[in-house]
Amino acid sequence: MNKEKLNLWHQEEQCGITGWDFSHLDGRWQNELLPWNYRKLVLSYLKSDMQLLDMGTGGGELLKTFHHASNRTQVTEAWQPNNNLLKHTIAKQGIKVHALSAKYEDALPVKNDSLNMITNSHAAFNPKLIKDKLKTGGYFISQQVGALNNYSLSRFFDSLCSGISR
């Protein structure tokens, strides 16, 4: 890796990556708008008496916009920096946080038939577990990117994190 790229990496590293707040990138990247509004879709089905699980919640930024009762809300998160953040934010508000291991799509630490809705805006998941955890008539609302979305970029960052540069 050349020195200029390494310096840029160190500058980004100083911003810290927790949750889904990427405001420090404003004006430096482009993104196409989706033809749907995930938040509005979730809110069109979410009722105040429902038990909700948000998978891969990040820092809980999107979840907070649902304004769902804390005692009826649970989240899963597998990235340790986000789990540290969640302990100091939504967990203090009474939302149950399930910190997961790296094989998170094979673990949903909630009772079977206990949830009315599971939301998942990007995390991997096991469809059988989703079915098992939802009550009859429950909803699973997700928006997934393709399996190869940003594959080369992800591998690049993985190599940096493991100390191996390509």
- Is 101 among the domain residues? yes
Confidence bin at 79 (pLDDT 50/70/90): confident
Give me the domain span that covers residue 80: 38-142
- Is 97 among the domain residues? yes
Query: What are the backbone angles phi and psi of residue 31, rounded to the nearest 5°?
Result: -150, 135
CA distance 155 to 153: 5
Is pLDDT at 153 greater than 70 in this prediction? no
Strands (E), 25-156: 52-55, 73-77, 96-99, 115-120, 134-142
Least confident of 5-14, 40-49, 87-96: 5-14
- Is 102 among the domain residues? yes
Mean pLDDT, range 23-37, rounded to an integer = 73
Is pLDDT at 166 greater than 60 in this prediction? no
* Mean pLDDT across the chain: 84
Residue 11: C-alpha distances to residues 7, 14, 158, 160 (Å): 6, 5, 18, 14
- Is 5 among the domain residues? no
Domain count, the chain: 1
Cβ atoms 9, 160 nearer than 8 A: yes
CATH number, domain with residue 50? 3.40.50.150
- Is 147 among the domain residues? no
- Is 154 among the domain residues? no
pLDDT in tens, 102-148: 666 678 999 999 999 999 998 888 999 999 999 999 999 999 876 66
Cβ atoms 110, 53 nearer than 8 A: yes
pTM, two decimals, is 0.74
pLDDT at residue 122 in the model: 85
- Is 109 among the domain residues? yes
- Is 17 among the domain residues? no
